[in-house]
Structure 1
Amino acid sequence: MEAVAGVLVGLVAALHLYILVLEMFLWQKKQGRSLHGFDAELARATAPLAANQGLYNGFLAAGLVWGLIAGDPTGFRAQVFFLSCVIVAGVYGAATANRRILVAQALPGALALAAVLIAR
């Protein structure tokens, strides 16, 4: 179960690295605009906000990677903390912006957290 937990945590970290790239570097390009249905003008106007969000997603990914490579108990605690942050961010995003965020962000975080706790 520990291997499954590690893979799930790694996938959540990779998801947040992807979000970082999307929000920081692709926001004004077709890939970024099509995700939210933005036209070029709206994407340009919201790019600084998106970049800030992307940076925070990068911090989540970095924390999860730290949790994977750090020895216990630090690694376990880091994984639990950062996965909890992912879940809270996903629930908040679903409540305030788009319900898809619940499935795209909170659910993977919750599955990974459950696996980490069960593997313990």
Structure 2
Amino acid sequence: MLFIANILIGVVLLIHVYIVLLETVMFRTRGRKVFGLDKDKVEMMAPAMSNQGCYNGFLAAALAVALLHPDAAIANAFAVFGLACVAVAGIWGAVTVQKRILFVQTVPALLALAAHMLAH
């Protein structure tokens, strides 16, 4: 079960790396299409989205620590913290921005968290 949990954590990590890239370096191109924004809105929103991308980078970093840290207790703490933060952020995003965020962020995070908890 730990192997499956780690695969799911890795999937959530990769989703967040992609989100970081969409919100920062690719916001004016691919990000614009993904978020369905016109050019005027993109320019206005770019600084805030870059900041948001930074926060998503911190979530990705927590999940990377969860997968890579040699101390199991520390890895476990980062996994639970990182996945819980992703799930809450996804719920908030679904309420305030777009319901699709619930399925892109929250569902994978909760599946990974459930698998992780069952493995421990």
Q: Please indicate, yes or no, whether the TM-score normalized by the shorter chain is above 0.5.
A: yes
Normalised by the length of structure 2, the TM-score is 0.97
Normalised by the length of structure 1, the TM-score is 0.97
- Looking at structure 2, the residues matched to 13 and 35 of structure 1 have their Cα atoms a distance apart, in angstroms, of 19
Percent of aligned pairs with the same amino acid: 42
Q: Tell me by how many angstroms 1:69 deviates.
A: 1.2
- Looking at structure 2, the residues matched to 116 and 32 of structure 1 have their Cα atoms a distance apart, in angstroms, of 31
Q: Tell me by how many angstroms 1:58 deviates.
A: 0.6
Q: What stretches of structure 1 move > 6 A for 4+ residues in a row?
A: none
Q: Tell me by how many angstroms 1:78 deviates.
A: 0.8
Gaps of 5+ in 1: none
How many pairs were matched up? 119
Query: What is the root-mean-square deviation in Å for CA atoms of aligned residues?
Result: 0.7
- Looking at structure 1, the residues matched to 51 and 108 of structure 2 have their Cα atoms a distance apart, in angstroms, of 22
Question: Which residue is equivalent to 1:49?
Answer: 48
- Looking at structure 1, the residues matched to 12 and 116 of structure 2 have their Cα atoms a distance apart, in angstroms, of 12
Letter in 2 for 1:2: L
> Is 1:112 matched with 2:93?
no
- Looking at structure 2, the residues matched to 36 and 63 of structure 1 have their Cα atoms a distance apart, in angstroms, of 25
Alignment of 1:22-33 (within 5 A): 22-29=22-29, 31-33=30-32
The superposition leaves residues 28-48 of structure 1 with CA deviations (integer Å, 9 ceiling, x where unpaired) of: 11x111112211111011000
